[in-house]
Chains A and B, each alone.
Chain A
């Protein structure tokens, strides 16, 4: 193998598993260390910079970082990255020094933002401090998009949404709430320098089976029902409720029902419990509230008594795999199952809809009715129209909306400066030694053996009384410290210099994870089989160092390295050093431009 080029920013970035997995590439271990030191304000600032909504995301993020966390590979459960973020947001002090100054003198560029969800808000947050005139339209009366209208208050108190939306609007964003854009064509005639479409995926999927029309009064589309609950238009539901669907929307529907009078709330899914789309923790939260989840039941009919819903009839199915390994649901042949209920919530999926975009306006759509959008630049086929969030590639989540927003902001900034939007700015990267003394490092290199700490919950009898009562209490200082200590500091990199190595084997002998091997070179496939411990995780790189006197190579399997620094402590010549790799995405502004 060729020696590893550690100057390529991707190499060490991949080693920081959580940051690599985060769509916005939040420097996770950097803020976790600050939380351990109770420097909550600085930890908040790092988050705000990267993901814009620390308080909201610290409660609701889909957390793609957590399954990626190295801790999963060396122990059992990931660091509670998401809930630590909440600790920073809840305990921060005066943040005003971290807020950008907004220039009085605007730069003369006007940007229209359609929708006031997290995608548009991110674009606005990035562009306003640069002097852009941002005007944000939303059909709703307040900003926040689905963060406000869909996510129930018991998961996300409205005060948190208000705070984080206001912080952006207060940067001088002009809001036109209550104004639904009915025609893109008309909007474009207003001469905006760029238009950003962050209109989300607003339509809930229908379930067209017998009885749907007749019993319509008690059959509700999940996301419409949730927003009505949010707005206070709906404040009760029947005693017996069936929620159809296995995604996160279904989980919010069933838990909301429990708080609005639903005593017997049942979730029913077509496929198996394991294959449900909802996150593991959302399923746990629902079951904790006494909500059973029934699986392998396909709804075939809404039963009713002269238009008054009486229940749902289900066909029993089982999973069968064909020779290609594809799964099919086939009827078991058993009699149908009839579950009685007073109300049904249909939460079987979400769709995009762009009735307000004229198809001859110059934006190409694909055959699924989605706009053609460049995944790097977020640009549509109309050069000054950009898409982001759920509107771009279908329903995802908040953190993806944020990531899209950052990229779109860069594109808009470049477009307005006459630059090529395809020319993307490189990230900001620093690599700094953490050595303080012979055995002292400027990070806490001791490894915690603690298992993941549970977030304390409000007593269930209290929690179920009011839909606005937040269920999770959050970590206190002590729990936050203990949980933060579980982080393995994956950004503190083991940097190897073969010219200094005397091949004494000290690092090989001390490494608790058998990461390091000195051996004859070979191709990757061969090398992976003859290391101190098998390197079978192909998603993790081998770090190859050369320039050794014996002509051998140093091969380090990055997979389960604890970043404990013992290799560097044991090295007599300083051939190993622990260096902090700070990777920061470049955002819109002078740094993203080439001139």
Chain B
């Protein structure tokens, strides 16, 4: 499948942070899934990831994959959001010595990568520190 088709399919999560909540046990998923791994339920209601979370862990990437070399070094983190949802994303606009477990972050819409000089631009979410 082409990158643009895969990217397009993930737009609801990448752009709007659409999550799913199991209607029988209440467990939340981001990205949404077909079967609840808590209770086996198959019915979900649409929810949205809150735009504020807390950094649970992080690392700094110095040797980046080829399409991100110009962004290196950059920080990647896992943040915890309301309902215990954990999301992985790049941490932007941060000085590395500022990074701390538990630091409040919010979500901003950023350009994630680009398909070379002539391909599509891929947008999505990154974390930025709440200042």
Specify whether A and B are partners: no
Binding site for A on B (CB under 8 A): none
Binding site for B on A (CB under 8 A): none
